Amino acid sequence: MAEEETPKIQQVRQSEDRFLASDVFETNRRQLPRANGTGTYLEPAREIPVYHNCDVLVVGGGPSGTAAAWAAAQAGADVVLMERYNHLGGLSTGGLVIWIDRMTDWTGRQVIQGFAVDVLDRMPAEGLAGPPRADWGSKDPKKASYWGQRTAASHGIVNWSPTLDPERLKLISQEMLLEKGVRLVFHSWAAVPIVADGAVKGVVFESKAGRQAIHAKVVVDTTGDGDVFARAGAEFDTDIEEGDVHHSANTAFVLGGVDMDRWLAFRANEPEQYAQFAALGRERLGFFQPPYVSWRNDIALFLGPRQSGLSALDVDDMTELEIRSHRFMQTHCDFFLAHAPGFERAYSRPRAAQPVGRWRGAAGRDRREPVRLAQISRDLGALWRAGAAPAGWLARRRASHQL
């Protein structure tokens, strides 16, 4: 981070209007100048091959798309799921958002049901970490303290918020769709919707085989960015607040070779030393991010640092994000290795294939959302306080606003 200016840090605290609390880092310095393109290029019309015809085409293989494809196939439809990367799970796997947020209410009752439960039920014990069912809703201070350090207790109550192995989740999601007869199309990027009689009836997509088309009776846009409905001309809204955690972006990473119990004990039991450590981290790294637990004691999850002012829809911004993220990972690995109890033998593992940019925010100023993010943030805060888990609500809310 040597040539970077020192980033400004904004602390976002939980409040009536803020669902997530976090540091948000701001810097305007860019590694590369803006691209120098001007004018336009008229792409010639051409005939392209039709790759497939189906009842339902789901575009985007994240949690929403996987659930949508599974449900449509269950209802008897001939379903295709198209995904630009090589796996299912979207941000929850490729983005390393491996912490499935609260599925229980404050009494410990599981309020997220359906597909999410079916998926988790198939996870092997070694691929899932979280409190035993008997402890969901427990207010026992010892249990709440233990699980509070491990992302599975808040407000002094233990909840069901497991962390999981992303590779197992990719595999289970894939097998569940194949069992239902869903045709998977990986490494294919939906580029242009095919619109007929005011409805989307397929997409033109790009792959190594070139440009091809899929025709469908129904198209479900689960790209997370609204690529299909936005390009089809549907209305959408954008908003940005540079100081809101929902509008910041980052690419997550994990470090292996960690003794997480040792790190957590240091953080909890040695507050003065921890404060000195964190201050040193900020001084040395600028963008400083402490870790979360993962599904294993020897793997630490870093879901940041969260950078504001970058748009998920701007290729220069996304390039900037990745350049910085590659550096963050190495500088954090080096710093933790040298200074953090429990990280003496840490090593870097493959970084997330896709940036976290949904509700925390790659959103940015150009985020195409059919509903306002600020409103979602407020609604989430209300639901959180009311004891409803956000995960299912989010999935439903998003689905209901997509084509």
Ligand X SMILES: Cc1cc2nc3c(=O)[nH]c(=O)nc-3n(C[C@H](O)[C@H](O)[C@H](O)COP(=O)(O)OP(=O)(O)OC[C@H]3O[C@@H](n4cnc5c(N)ncnc54)[C@H](O)[C@@H]3O)c2cc1C
- Least separation, in Å, of the C-beta of 313 and ligand X? 11
- In the chain, the N- to C-terminal Cα span, in Å, equals 42
Nearer to ligand X, 192 or 337 (CB): 192
Task: Give bridge partners of residue 163 from the DSSP assignment.
Answer: 99, 129
Nearer to ligand X, 48 or 338 (CB): 48
**90: number of Cβ within 10 Å:** 24
CB neighbours (10 Å) of residue 29? 11
**Shortest distance, position 249 Cβ to ligand X, whole Å:** 11
Residue closest to ligand X, measured at CB? 62
Least distance to ligand X, CB of residue 312, Å: 10
Q: How far is the CB of 110 from ligand X (least distance, A)?
A: 13
Closest distance to ligand X from the beta carbon of 116 (Å): 9
Q: Note if the bond before 305 is cis, omega within 30 degrees.
A: yes
Q: Cα separation of 303 and 309, whole Å?
A: 17
Closest contact distance (angstroms) between CB of 377 and ligand X is 13
State the alpha helices, DSSP H only, in 242-302. Answer: 260-269, 271-285
In 3D, which of 94, 55, 110 has the Cα closest to residue 391? 110
Q: Which two tokens stand for residue 204?
A: 């033109």
258 vs 352 by CB, closer to ligand X: 352
Helix (H, G, I), strand (E, B) or coil at 249: strand
Q: Which is nearer to ligand X, 86 or 273 (CB)?
A: 86
Q: Exposed/middle/buried for 121, CB within 10 Å: 0-12, 13-18, 19+? A: exposed
- Minimum CB distance to ligand X smaller for 227 or for 320: 227
Residues within the interface to ligand X (CB under 6 A):
59-65, 82-85, 90-92, 97, 99-101, 189-190, 222-225, 227, 303, 354, 356, 358-360, 390-391, 394-395, 398
Q: Which is nearer to ligand X, 283 or 366 (CB)?
A: 366
Cβ closest to ligand X, residue 5 vs residue 175 = 175
Pairing of strands 183-185, 79-82: parallel
Minimum distance of ligand X from residue 80's CB (angstroms): 12
Identify the DSSP state of 45.
Answer: P
The rounded distance, in Å, linking the Cα atoms of 247 and 92 is 18
Cα 105 to chain centroid distance, Å, stands at 22
Q: Which is nearer to ligand X, 82 or 285 (CB)?
A: 82
Least separation, in Å, of the C-beta of 398 and ligand X?
5
Cβ atoms of 23 and 186 within 8 Å: the answer is no
Give pairs for 376-383: CB < 8 Å, separation 24+.
376/246, 377/17, 377/18, 377/19, 377/244, 377/246, 378/16, 378/17, 380/19, 381/14, 381/15, 381/16, 381/17, 381/18, 381/19
CB of 103 to ligand X, least distance (A): 8
Nearer to ligand X, 304 or 342 (CB): 304
